[in-house]
A and B are shown apart, each in its own frame.
Chain A
Amino acid sequence: MKRPFSYHPTMNQLLAGGALLLGALAVFGSPYRGPVARVNLRELARDVGVEADHVTAEQLADWILQQRADYRLLDLRDEAAWSEYHIPGAELVPMAKLIDYPLLRNETIVLYSDGGIHAAQGWFLLEAAGHKSVALLLGGLNAWKDEILFPVLAEDASAEQRAAFERARFVSEHFGGTPSVSGGTLETDRTPTPLPKTDMPVAPATPRARKRKAKEGC
């Protein structure tokens, strides 16, 4: 007996129907995540607790001197502050654009702002967005200026401190800073210490970006 409705679609028709159905459903969705994120609060709290996310100014200066290219340095201040001075190799990323800034989830990112509050807030945003290795410049640009650009040697410093200062002096001069002994600079003139010209000695950031790009595509 033949049923009133008997239709046996071919495999091609079935697949076409499936594609059509999925295509029609797609109209109601979007593949982009948008600005919404889920975070594991315990994990974040633990990361903050162990302070594994700190980079000291001295460490960062070493990285730059070694011309390391395995991290990105982001400056979260505004453009005016940026053009006055920024750490060599840093990229200017205004806070509002941080989440959309092209960064890979697996690269080391070092954030800094003047003090450190904005950097810490940016740290949270990037962690929430799933970045694996975000670090803060401890003390921010202020610490960079105090420790790297304008290190001061106390007059009653011990021999050890003096030896350490020789190193600091070398680093400071490399970055265009002005080391000083408390009271007066080593240099003869003591004008209000000018900030060095930016983009002085840098491990260039651009060739690295280009290299990464070349790895992709087909």
Chain B
Amino acid sequence: MSAPLFKYGLFGDEISLIVAFVIGIGFGFFLERAGLGSARKLTAQFYLTDLSVFKVMFTAIVTAMLGLFYLSWAGWVDISLVYLSPTYLLPQLAGGLLLGLGFVIGGYCPGTSVVAVSTGALDAWLYLAGVMAGIFVFGEMFSSIGPFFYATDMGSLTIPDLIHLPYGVVVLGVVLLALGGFAGAGWVERLFAPPSRES
């Protein structure tokens, strides 16, 4: 048996929804337990006093990367079937900036706002309403921003393809980047720590 299980036809569309539900609940649960359901914690990231978000996300990236790499090396995952969202350089840069702005101002990213809603945070409800309104406006505006949305199409790009390095070398590079990042994050946190009182 190999993964991706859905693409190998192990289950159909209906079961895949149930699987997605279970995985989604698990994902949300651990986001909340990692503290990412708190707008205070999330915005502390931008004041450099608490880089938990950075550490959680980079840990998740490294864990998933090593897991996928070794499982596919062992032949249990067919990585060629794992979906790669295509790169549209400029629109994605613009979208990333917009999302970052919303993150700083609202205190959540889309996923964590849903997590915070589940814990009853009122600001998260408001944030989620904003997300929905944004989706609606985007949909209505799509005919006019469509050309930009599809601009600078670079296809399904991977870093190993882009910089012509063997896959494993990139894996090592990302691990080193993460470890360096964690050490650096700890240093930055100590540097910007608020004077006593709060921890």
Contact = CB atoms under 8 A, between A and B. Distances in A.
B81 A27 contact: no
A105 B6 CA distance: 10
A218 B27 CA distance: 13
A33 B7 contact: no
A19 B62 contact: yes
B166 A30 contact: yes
Interface residues of B, number: 31
Interface residues of A, number: 23
- Residue in B2, B66, B176 with the greatest tally of chain A CB atoms within 10 Å: B66
Contacts of B172: 23-24, 26-27
A208 to B, nearest CB: 14
A106 B72 contact: no
B171 A26 contact: yes
B147 interface: no
B179 interface: yes
Contacts of B166: 27, 30
Nearest to B79: A31
Interface in A67-83: none
Contacts of A192: none
A33 B78 CA distance: 7
B66 A22 contact: yes
Contacts of A104: 7, 81
Contact of A33 (B80, B83, B176, B179): B80
Interface string B58-84: 000010001011101101011111010
Contact of A19 (B66, B73, B78, B81): B66
Interface in B106-146: none
Interface string A1-31: 0000000000010001001101110111111
B79 A32 contact: yes
A180 B179 CA distance: 76
Main secondary structure of the interface of B (DSSP, over half): helix
Contact of A216 (B66, B78, B83): B83
A20 B176 CA distance: 7
A123 B80 CA distance: 20
B70 A27 contact: no
Contacts of A218: 85
A28 B70 CA distance: 11
A217 B168 contact: no
Interface of A: 12, 16, 19-20, 22-24, 26-33, 104-106, 130, 132, 216-218
Interface of B: 2, 7-9, 62, 66, 68-70, 72-73, 75, 77-81, 83, 85, 166-169, 171-172, 174-176, 178-179, 182
Q: Nearest 3 CB-CB pairs, A to B?
A: A106-B9, A23-B175, A31-B72
Given A20-B175, A30-B168, A104-B81, 14 more contacts: A12-B182, A19-B62, A19-B175, A26-B70, A27-B168, A27-B169, A29-B70, A31-B68, A31-B73, A31-B77, A33-B78, A105-B8, A216-B85, A217-B85
23 contacts: A16-B179, A19-B178, A20-B176, A22-B66, A23-B174, A23-B175, A26-B167, A26-B172, A27-B169, A27-B171, A28-B168, A29-B168, A30-B166, A31-B72, A31-B77, A31-B79, A32-B72, A32-B79, A32-B80, A104-B7, A105-B7, A105-B78, A105-B81
